[in-house]
Amino acid sequence: GEDVEQSLFLSVREGDSSVINCTYTDSSSTYLYWYKQEPGAGLQLLTYIFSNMDMKQDQRLTVLLNKKDKHLSLRIADTQTGDSAIYFCAEGDAGNMLTFGGGTRLMVKP
Amino acid sequence: DGGITQSPKYLFRKEGQNVTLSCEQNLNHDAMYWYRQDPGQGLRLIYYSQIVNDFQKGDIAEGYSVSREKKESFPLTVTSAQKNPTAFYLCASSRGQVIAKNIQYFGAGTRLSVL
Q: For position A71, what pLDDT does the model report?
A: 95
Q: B16-73, pLDDT tens digit by residue?
A: 899 999 999 999 999 999 999 998 788 999 999 999 999 999 999 999 999 999 999 9
Look up residue B48 and give its amino acid.
Answer: Y
Q: Measure Cα distances from B113 to A27, B65, B74, B94, B103 in Å.
A: 38, 18, 21, 28, 29
- A100·B42 Cβ contact <8 A: yes
A48 touches chain B (CB under 8 A): yes
Give the list of residues 6+ apart from residue A83 with CB closer than 8 angstroms, or none: A18, A76, A106, A108
**Nearest 5°: CA angle at A82, between A75 and A3?**
45
Three-state SS for A53-85 is: CCEEEECCEEEEEECCCCEEEEEECCCCHHHCE
Q: Hey, of B43, B51, B106, B110, which one would you mutate to test binding to chain A, going by the most A CBs within 10 A of its CB? A: B43
d(CA B58, CA B34): 9
Give the B-side interface with A, CB within 8 Å: 4, 6, 40-43, 45, 48, 90, 92, 94, 97-109, 111
Q: Mean pLDDT, 10 residues at a time, over chain A (110 residues)? A: 86 97 86 93 94 92 94 97 96 82 95
- A96·B109 Cβ contact <8 A: no
Q: For position B6, what pLDDT does the model report?
A: 97
Comparing CA positions, the residue from B31, B43, B100 lying closest to residue A100 is B43
Is the dihedral angle over the CA atoms A21, A26, A30, A33 positive or is it negative? negative
On the question of pLDDT at B93 being above 60, the answer is yes
Q: Hey, of A6, A88, A98, A104, which one would you mutate to test binding to chain B, going by the most B CBs within 10 A of its CB? A: A98
pLDDT band, residue B97 (cuts 50/70/90): low
> Chains A and B: how many Cβ contacts under 8 Å?
56
Q: For position B90, what pLDDT does the model report?
A: 97
On the question of pLDDT at B2 being above 90, the answer is no
CB B115 within 8 A of CB B12: yes
- B41·A102 Cβ contact <8 A: yes
CB B74 within 8 A of CB B64: no
HSE (CB half, 13 Å, CA atoms) of B16?
A: 0
How far does CA B25 lie from the centroid of its chain? 12
Q: For position B107, what pLDDT does the model report?
A: 96
d(CA A108, CA A15): 9
- A97·B45 Cβ contact <8 A: yes
Q: For position A28, what pLDDT does the model report?
A: 79
